[in-house]
Structure 1
Amino acid sequence: MGMSAGYNLARRGVKTLLVDAFDPPHTQGSHHGESRLIRHAYSGDPAYIDLALRADTLWKEAEQLSGTELLVRSGVLNLADSTVYSFNGPIEEAKKRKVQVQHLDAEEVRRRWPALNIPGSFAAMYEPDAGYLYSERCISAYRQLALGHGAELLTNTPVVNVTAREGSVTVHTTNGDYHGAAAILSAGAWFGKLTPFVHLPIKAIRKVVGWFESSPVFAAGNFPGFTLGAEEGGYYGFPSIDGAGLKIGRHDTGLEWKPGTPLAPFGSEASDEGDLRKVLESYMPGAAGRLLKGSACKYEHTPDEDFIIDCHPLHSNVLIAGGFSGHGFKFSSVVGEILADLAIGGVTTHNIQPFSLSRFAPPDHSRTSLILEGI
């Protein structure tokens, strides 16, 4: 989110500084692991669909400007047990916005993707124009574009404190103090490091993904990205890209993580591989081969799993972008555009009302930051 905002500000001629405790792309945030789904038909507030469509356009623009392939239209197959979840709402809203969606029963799913072993109680929503993003390439592309427009990037520069007043923000780092007229905080799962200046209802969660040896039918070009909702929980995944194996992760559950403490590596919990393998054996047995690789990453959950995009309650020149709850990466191109709109003019044409911080109980504030990603 921060790198995208940095590009959007710099290209509009704003003097822009980005501050990161690491050197993006890196493995300390929520963007590593090669791929992220991009879908357009969405549950929840219809604003998500509008933002997903705009994000898609902006990803293609970034792709052209950077000369790097960022988005693959593999299609995304959303599967769910009808006793757990219904696709009726998302399909209705998607069709209003002319998003291509197909509502499939279990028999049609099995006919089109014979490698799937789903019971008759399942249904699906297939999005042929959806797909996946190469997440680390996306970060690199926006970094290249931001710097090309004159932005400055401080890497390996942890923030130790932030102070703000009207018209001025100071970021105190291990490498000195930096001053600006406005700030955007996009600290992801590290927002806890900014308390008490900003206290958000965000819980950092350790999550894992695994890549499993799979038959050729699950290879990229043959198989789409997917989501799966069943009694076992909520899962998502990707076809095997360049022989890396089918990638799968679990969206729900997870262990709370305290920012700044070591993140337990994949395999530290029996459920790391166990939960993923159980679902593959049940529904995609041809992808339940040996584990090729595992990785641990971080979510930043809000109580309702909706985003926070708003001004700081006490400082109108400080913007907050967080709580993306494991489904935000696809939106980062448009969120950067929104944040630049707000930082420059105080308004945006995009509907961000559902992401207001005021929907939560008023927090207790007193301390702040320029553009921060992964403090």
Structure 2
Amino acid sequence: MGMSAGYHLARRGIKTLLIDAFDPPHTEGSHHGEPRLIRHAYSGDPAYTDLALRAHVLWKEAEQQSGTELLVPSGVLNLADSAVYSFRSQLAEAGKQKVRVEQLDAQEIRRRWPALNLPDSFEAMYEPDAGYLYSERCIAAYRGLALAHGAELLTNTAVLHVTAREGSVTVHTKNGEIHGGAAILSAGAWFGALSPFITLPIKAIRKVVGWFQSAPDFDSGNFPGFTLGTEEGGYYGFPGIGGAGLKIGRHDTGLEWKPGEKLAPFGTEESDEGDLRRVLEAYMPGAAGRLLKGAVCKYEHTPDEDFIIDRHPLHPNVLLAGGFSGHGFKFSSVVGEILADLAADGQTRHNIRPFSLARFETPGQSQAGQLLEGI
């Protein structure tokens, strides 16, 4: 989100400094391990579908400007046991927004993708115009574009704390103080390190993904990106790309992580491989081969799994962007545009009311992040 915002600010001619504790793209956040789904048909607040469609346009623009393939229109097959999840609201929103979707029953799913082993209770919503993004390429592309437009980047520069007053912000780093008129904080799973300057209802969680040896039926070009809602939990994944094997991760569950703690490597928990393998053996047996690679990353999400895009409650010249993990990467192109709007103009044409901090001040919070909806 920060790299995208840096690009959008710099292209407007605004003096922009980007600060990262590491050297992006890197493995210390939530963006490594390549593909991330980009889909358009959301339920809940219409803002999500609006933003997903705008994000797609901006990704294609970044792709053209950087000369790098970022988005693969593989289609996304959203699968679910009808006993645990329904696509009814997503299909309705897709109809309103004119997003192309196909509703499929189990028989039609098996006919089109015969390698799937699905009971008759399953149904699907297929999005032919959706696909996946090469996340690390996206970070690198926005980095290059931001720098080409005059932004500066400080790598390996950890932020120790932040202070602010009217009209100015000071970022205190291990290498000294940096002063600016405004700041955007998009620290992801590391937001906890910025307390007490800002304390957000964001929890960081250790998550794992695995790449499994799979049959050609599950290779890119033969199989789409997918989500999978089952009694065993909510999963997501990608076809085998360049011989890497099918990639799968679990959206729910996970162990809480705090900045500064060691992140346990893949395989530390029996469930790391076990949960992924069990669901593959049950529903995608042709993709349940040898584990080729496992990786760990950090989710960071809010209690309702909706984003936070707002101003600091005490310092309006400090913008906050967090709680994106699970389904946020696809939106980073447009979130960068939103943050640049707010920083430069004080307002944005995009609807960000659902992402206000005010929602945590009263009871009755949204529960949009259920099972598949958060993927």
Structure 1 length-normalised TM: 0.96
Task: Please name the residue that 1:369 is paired with.
Answer: none
Q: Distance in 1 between matches of 2:78 and 2:167?
A: 46
Question: 2:285: which partner in 1?
Answer: 285
Instruction: List, as ranges, runs of 4+ consecutive aligned residues in structure 1 with deviation greater than 2 Å.
Output: none
1:271 — aligned with what? Answer: 271
CA–CA separation in structure 2 for the residues paired with 1:95 and 1:79:
19
Question: What does 1:212-231 align with in structure 2 at a 5 Å threshold?
Answer: 212-231=212-231
1:231-250 alignment runs, 5 A limit = 231-250=231-250
Residue 184 of structure 1 aligns with an amino acid whose one-letter code is I
RMSD of aligned Cα (Å):
0.7
User: How far has the Cα of 1:317 moved from its partner?
Assistant: 0.3
Residues in 2 aligned to 1:3 and 1:260: alpha-carbon distance in whole angstroms:
23
Alignment partner, residue 340 of structure 1: 340
Structure 1 residue 361, shift from structure 2 partner: 2.7
Alignment of 1:158-307 (within 5 A): 158-307=158-307
Q: For residues 1-375 of structure 1, what are the structure 2 equivalents within 5 Å? A: 1-361=1-361
Letter in 2 for 1:296: V
What is the alpha-carbon distance in structure 1 between the residues aligned to residue 82 and residue 193 of structure 2? Answer: 41
Counterpart of 2:373 in structure 1 is: none
* SS of residue in 1 equivalent to 2:361: coil
Give SS of 1:360's match.
Answer: helix
For residues 159 and 224 of structure 2, the distance between their equivalents in structure 1, rounded to whole angstroms, comes to 40
| Structure 2 CA distance for aligned equivalents of residues 172 and 199 of structure 1 | 17
1:64 alignment partner, SS class: helix
Aligned equivalents of 1:340, 1:99: Cα separation in 2: 27
Looking at structure 1, the residues matched to 343 and 310 of structure 2 have their Cα atoms a distance apart, in angstroms, of 11
Distance in 2 (alpha carbons) for counterparts of 1:197 and 1:25: 26
Q: Distance in 1 between matches of 2:205 and 2:44?
A: 22
Q: Which amino acid in 1 is paired with 2:247? A: K
The higher-RCO structure (CA 8 Å, 6+ apart) is 1
Q: AA paired with 1:319?
A: L
User: Is the CA contact (8 Å cut-off) linking 1:211 and 1:248 kept in structure 2?
Assistant: yes
Q: Which amino acid aligns with 1:6?
A: G
Quote the Cα distance in structure 2 between the aligned partners of 1:343 and 1:360. Answer: 23
Aligned partners of 1:168 and 1:180 also within 8 Å = yes
C-alpha distance in 1, partners of 2:153/2:31?
18
CA deviation vs aligned residue, 1:218-261 (integer Å, no higher than 9, x gap): 00000000000010000000000001000000000000001121
SS class of match (2:211): strand
Output the CA distance in 1 between the equivalents of 2:340 and 2:141. 18
Shift of 1:185: 0.3
Task: Calculate percent identity across the aligned residue pairs.
Answer: 81
Shift of 1:92: 0.8
Following the alignment from structure 1 to structure 2, what is the Cα–Cα distance between the partners of residues 327 and 259? Answer: 22
Residues 161-215 of structure 1, C-alpha deviation per residue, up to 9 Å, x if partnerless?
A: 1110010000010111111000000000000000010000000000000000000
Give, as a single letter, the amino acid of the residue that structure 2 aligns with 1:173.
T
Query: Please, which runs of 5 or more residues in structure 2 have no aligned partner?
Result: 363-375
SS in 2 for 1:271: helix
Q: CA separation in 2, counterparts of 1:161 and 1:185? A: 11
Tell me how many residue pairs correspond in the alignment: 362
Distance in 2 of aligned mates of 1:80 and 1:147: 43
Give the Cα separation in 2 of the matches to 1:161 and 1:36.
Answer: 31
Q: CA deviation at 1:334?
A: 0.1
Aligned partner of 2:365 in structure 1 is none
State the one-letter code of the partner of 1:196: P
Which blocks of at least 5 consecutive residues in structure 1 are unaligned?
363-375
What are the superposed Cα offsets for residues 141-178 of structure 1, whole Å, 9 maximum, x if unpaired?
00000000000000000011111001000001011111
CA contact (8 A) 1:302 1:325 kept: no
User: Counterparts of 1:326 and 1:29 in 2: how far apart (Å)?
Assistant: 13
Quick check: 2:30–2:325 contact (8 Å CA) kept in 1? no
Instruction: Output the CA distance in 1 between the equivalents of 2:20 and 2:298.
Output: 17
